[in-house]
């Protein structure tokens, strides 16, 4: 991996602003219509392509409507709907466990506070931030996924390797106006331009990126 070259706050915000403008139509990538659907889809999406999750959730959401529906589900029955995702058994256990707590402690409503969400089975800060932003419009932090980790290092936003540390670095450096979409913007940029072999000639921030023209080695 090439050496980390850090951008100061002014340059970092300029770069993120350029990316936000370039990918201005980007949005959260999992399909849902209620907070409980978002929670379930987000749990299923860990280490699984969003296209796979979106392919299986219509049938799943058609069967299970409320937190109680999931809480009362038999694991084997639920597996029949989500068996195609990675670590399906663990995810089913987390979905049932989280929904039991939601049904019993929060009267069936997915909580809208970070401290409550991260106490639910299968919910870390990334998923909690995702729920707060996309279900409740509350921007308290930044969801840090694989693309955020990779591109934060590559374009000079954070040299940390731990997701929580990266989130803190980004929040300290990046204006809050960008927190809502930065994860989805970086994912779009990674998939379209800044992948394993960056297409620097097509990059909207090529004049400002410290890795311009440099391919990382394993």
Residue 94: give its domain's CATH number: 1.10.340.30
Residue 164: give its domain's CATH number: 1.10.1670.10
- Count of CA atoms in the C-beta half-sphere (13 A) of 105: 13
Say yes or no to pLDDT of 218 above 60. Answer: no
Say yes or no to pLDDT of 215 above 70. Answer: no
% pLDDT > 70, the chain:
96
pLDDT at residue 217 in the model: 42
Same domain, 16 and 71: no
Same domain, 173 and 96: no
- Count of CA atoms in the C-beta half-sphere (13 A) of 92: 19
**Model confidence at 2, in pLDDT bands (50, 70, 90)?**
low
Say yes or no to pLDDT of 216 above 50. Answer: no
18 lies in some domain = yes
The tens digit of pLDDT for each residue in 20-37 reads: 999 999 999 999 999 999
Whether the Cβ atoms of residue 43 and residue 98 lie closer than 8 Å to each other: yes
Mean pLDDT of the chain: 93
Say yes or no to pLDDT of 40 above 50. Answer: yes
Whether the Cβ atoms of residue 114 and residue 140 lie closer than 8 Å to each other: yes
Same domain, 22 and 112: no
Domain carrying residue 117: 35-136
CA distance 32 to 45: 13
User: What's the N-to-C CA distance of the chain in angstroms?
Assistant: 6
- The mean per-residue pLDDT over the stretch 49-72 comes to 97
Say yes or no to pLDDT of 1 above 80. Answer: no
Say yes or no to pLDDT of 84 above 90. Answer: no
44 Cβ contact list (under 8 Å, min separation 6):
53, 56, 57, 82, 85, 91, 95
% pLDDT > 90, the chain:
89
Same domain, 131 and 177: no
Domains in the chain, number: 2
Q: How many residues does the chain have?
A: 218
217 lies in some domain = no
State both tokens at 200: 């620097």
- Count of CA atoms in the C-beta half-sphere (13 A) of 119: 12
215 lies in some domain = no
Write b or e for each residue in 119-149: b if 16 or more Cβ atoms lie within 10 A of its Cβ, otherwise e: ebbbbebbbbbbbbbbbeeeeebbbbbebbb
Same domain, 71 and 147: no
Same domain, 64 and 103: yes
The tens digit of pLDDT for each residue in 6-18 reads: 999 999 999 999 9
Same domain, 121 and 188: no
CA distance 189 to 151: 9
């Amino acid at each position: 991996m090439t050496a980390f070259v850090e951008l100061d706050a002014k340059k970092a915000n300029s770069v993120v602003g350029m990316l936000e403008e370039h990918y201005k139509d980007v949005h959260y990538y999992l399909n849902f219509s209620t907070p409980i659907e978002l929670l379930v889809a987000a749990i299923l999406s860990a280490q699984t392509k969003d296209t796979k999750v979106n392919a299986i959730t219509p049938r799943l959401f058609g069967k299970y409507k409320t937190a109680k529906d999931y809480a009362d589900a038999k694991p084997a029955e639920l597996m029949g709907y989500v068996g195609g995702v990675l670590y399906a058994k663990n995810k089913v256990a987390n979905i049932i466990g989280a929904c039991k707590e939601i049904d019993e402690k929060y009267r069936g409503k997915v909580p809208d506070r970070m401290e409550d969400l991260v106490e639910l089975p299968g919910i870390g800060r990334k998923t909690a931030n995702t729920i707060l932003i996309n279900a409740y419009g509350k921007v308290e932090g930044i969801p840090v996924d694989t693309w955020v980790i990779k591109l934060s290092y590559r374009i000079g936003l954070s040299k940390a390797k731990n997701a929580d540390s990266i989130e803190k670095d980004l929040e300290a450096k990046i204006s809050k106006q960008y927190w809502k979409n930065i994860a989805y913007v970086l994912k779009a940029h990674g998939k379209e331009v800044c992948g394993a072999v960056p297409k620097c000639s097509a990059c909207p921030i090529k004049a400002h990126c410290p890795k311009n023209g440099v391919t990382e080695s394993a």
